[in-house]
Amino acid sequence: MSGLPATGKTTIARALAAAIGAVHLRVDVIEQAVVRAGAGSQPLGPVGYAIAYRLAEDFLRQGLTVVADSVNPLSITRQAWRDAAGAAAAGFLDVEVVCSDPVVHERRATGRVADIPDLVLPSWPEILSREYEPWDCHRLVLDTAHVGVADCVVRVRSAISGRNR
């Protein structure tokens, strides 16, 4: 699951992981654990992502399904997830979560409360100014301005089934 903050990635990732019995691997949790351990401060740079890639690969090698949840703002971060799946000889589906309605997106961004202790959520101006490279590969796009969580989960599950045929 990729996309800017406050688009609904984590909500969808949690629901999907529960529906399919997968591990929900959230980079925010890893990064905040590193900060709380005193091993770094925000922004951490690639540290949280590097840990997440290795955890994903390890889980996949154990035969577990992983729903990875991070902004993935750069082509290189998106490719690293594909590489982790490839190293574990596991299937992979790119999913980008967007919210095409800026009013709804801003309302979500300004109204949400952190669910990870001490995590500072980005402000709306920070979200708008965040670096986010255009995608250069095929992916499933979920627009949460128009589709609810349950329908997003159905769409992802359908895309996964289609890949497994």
pLDDT, one tens digit per residue, over 83-97 is 999 999 999 999 999
Domain count, the chain: 1
Residue 74 lies in a domain: yes
3-state secondary structure of 25: strand
Q: What confidence tens digit (pLDDT) does each residue in 36-64 have?
A: 888 877 777 789 999 999 999 999 999 99
Domain membership of residue 20 as a residue range: 9-163
The first and second tokens of residue 73, run together, are 């703002």
Measured distance CA(160)–CA(140) in Å, rounded? 10
- Residue 1 in any domain: the answer is no
Within a domain: 4: no
- Asked, for residue 128, whether it belongs to a domain, the answer is yes
Q: Look at residue 2 and tell me if it is in a domain.
A: no
Q: DSSP string covering 93-157, please? A: --EEEE---HHHHHHHHHH---SSTTPPPPPHHHHHHS--PPP-S--EEEETTTS-HHHHHHHHH
Residue 21 lies in a domain: yes
Give the CATH number of the domain where residue 68 resides: 3.40.50.300
Enter the pTM of the model.
Answer: 0.92
